[in-house]
């Protein structure tokens, strides 16, 4: 097969310096270093693709000429993979070049359109996506991407039209459902719920969709179901910002449930747990930190404080405990170790009452 030559150019000043392992100010002060670093970056990008890449930088214009048998399809595939990694600054010039060669290619139009939409270059994004849906009016993905660009452009009406068209074309596409549901939820969470629920069923591994479903359940008054969905969402990957949001909402739900019928009245079971913790930590102050921190860490996965089952164990304290018992111990521990720290739950009424009982008990023993 004859090697195909592709050349794409872009302004050096448009290169995203965050892609480089060198401070931006340092690069701007040393033109030769900047040019070498950008060349090295593109050499690395094309090394994985094979073929031969020639990179030149003259008068502020970066020119990459790539000679390969793999040709345009490989370049497009690589660009799409880069977009999935968030490498927009690298992928977009490649896709623009690809578009010049194939102006009506739906894969290029869709991916470049979505990338420009993500980058808030909305006029250009809408131009490409309009061309895509004109060429392929029955392609749901194109309408879905266009709806998202309209949302970002604050044109809610056009967005809803586009999302609805996408939904008509692909009623079982999770992303169409998610986006349409998310938009409708702004004015009516109840109306949006069935759509978001279906999206969650279709995309069980998508943490953002699961979190959105949990939030929608919470907003429509089904806190118990919301908690289960949010727990699942957190477990999908506990180390993300979405997991943090899900955890925060679960804490809020747990707190509201725990207070439930009690309102401002202290819960006596919690008072007794706090009292037990006060006695334990007074008798063994060296254990306070270990127990408190261990519970706090266990709590990152979610302690079930509204379930009376005694199902938790600790390394630092023998026995088995209920979720509410552990949270009460943790609260007391934090009050001793770092009174200003946020324990994540408000047990101050119960704690104060337990303190009074503890002090009274101490006075009694002294007598």
Going from the C-alpha of 28 to that of each of 9, 43, 48, the distances in angstroms are: 20, 21, 28
| Listed ranges 21-29, 68-76, 168-176, 253-261: which one lies at the site for other proteins (CB under 8 A) | 21-29
Smallest separation, CB 238 to other proteins (Å): 6
How many CA within 13 A on the CB side of residue 248? 8
Q: Which is nearer to other proteins, 151 or 291 (CB)?
A: 291
Alpha carbon distance 187, 176 (integer Å): 18
What residues from 279 to 308 belong to the interface with other proteins (CB under 8 A)?
Answer: 286-287, 289-290, 293-294, 296-297, 300
Concatenating the DSSP letter of every residue in 181-216 gives: HHHHHTT-HHHHHHHHHHHHHH-TT-HHHHHHHHHH
Dihedral angle, C-alpha 184, 190, 195, 200, nearest 10 °: 110
Q: How far is the CB of 202 from other proteins (least distance, A)?
A: 17
Q: Applying CB under 8 A, which part among 25-33, 63-71, 150-158, 185-193 lies near other proteins?
A: 25-33
Nearer to other proteins, 82 or 192 (CB): 82
Q: Determine the angle formed by the axes of helices 88-101 and 71-84, rounding to 10 degrees.
A: 150
Rule CB under 8 A: say whether 40 interacts with other proteins.
yes
The reply on whether position 23 binds other proteins by CB under 8 A is yes
Taking each continuous run of H as one helix and of E as one strand, the counts in the chain are 17, 5
Give the nearer residue to other proteins in terms of CB position, either 2 or 205.
205
- Decide: residue 339, CB within 10 A, 0-12 exposed, 13-18 middle, 19+ buried: exposed
In whole angstroms, how close is the CB of 316 to other proteins at the nearest point? Answer: 5
By CB under 8 A, residue 52 contacts other proteins? no
**Pattern of binders to other proteins over 231-260, x per CB under 8 A?**
-----xxxxxx--x----------------
- Is the CB of residue 303 less than 8 Å from the CB of residue 347? no
Does 319 interact with other proteins (rule: CB under 8 A)? Answer: no
Residues in the chain: 367
Q: How far is CA 223 from the centre of its chain?
A: 21
User: Is residue 315 near other proteins by the rule CB under 8 A?
Assistant: yes
Positions in the binding site for other proteins (CB under 8 A): 18-26, 33, 36-37, 40-41, 44, 47, 85, 205, 236-241, 244, 286-287, 289-290, 293-294, 296-297, 300, 314-316
């Amino acid at each position: 097969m004859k090697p195909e030559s592709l050349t794409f150019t872009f302004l050096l000043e448009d290169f995203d310096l965050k892609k480089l392992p060198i401070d931006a100010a340092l690069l701007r002060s040393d033109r030769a270093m900047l040019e070498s670093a950008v060349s090295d970056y593109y050499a690395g990008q094309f090394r994985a693709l094979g073929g031969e890449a020639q990179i030149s930088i003259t008068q502020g214009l970066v020119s990459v000429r790539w000679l390969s048998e793999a040709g345009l399809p490989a370049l497009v595939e690589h660009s799409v993979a880069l977009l999935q990694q968030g490498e927009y600054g690298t992928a977009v010039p490649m896709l623009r070049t690809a578009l010049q060669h194939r102006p009506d290619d739906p894969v290029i139009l869709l991916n470049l359109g979505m990338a420009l939409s993500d980058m808030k270059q909305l006029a250009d994004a809408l131009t490409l996506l309009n061309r895509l849906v004109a060429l392929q009016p029955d392609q749901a993905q194109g309408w879905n991407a266009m709806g998202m660009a309209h949302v970002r452009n604050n044109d809610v009406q056009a967005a809803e039209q586009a999302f609805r068209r996408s939904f008509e074309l692909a009623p079982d596409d999770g992303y169409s459902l998610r986006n349409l549901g998310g938009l409708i939820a702004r004015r009516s969470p109840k109306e949006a719920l069935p759509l978001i629920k279906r999206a969650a069923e279709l995309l069980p591994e998508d943490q953002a969709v699961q979190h959105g479903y949990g939030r929608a359940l919470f907003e429509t008054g089904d806190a118990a179901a919301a908690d289960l969905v949010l727990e699942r969402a957190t477990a999908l990957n506990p180390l993300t910002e979405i997991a943090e949001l899900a955890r925060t909402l679960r804490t809020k739900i747990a707190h509201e449930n725990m207070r439930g019928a009690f309102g401002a009245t202290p819960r006596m079971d919690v008072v007794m747990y706090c009292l037990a913790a006060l006695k334990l930590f007074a008798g063994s102050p060296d254990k306070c930190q270990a127990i408190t921190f261990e519970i706090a860490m266990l709590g990152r996965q979610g302690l079930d404080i509204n379930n009376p089952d005694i199902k938790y164990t600790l390394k630092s304290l023998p026995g088995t405990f209920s979720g509410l018992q552990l949270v009460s111990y943790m609260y007391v521990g934090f009050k001793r170790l770092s009174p200003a720290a946020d324990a994540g739950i408000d047990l101050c009424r119960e704690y104060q009452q337990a303190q009074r009982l503890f002090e009274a008990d101490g006075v009694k023993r002294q007598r």
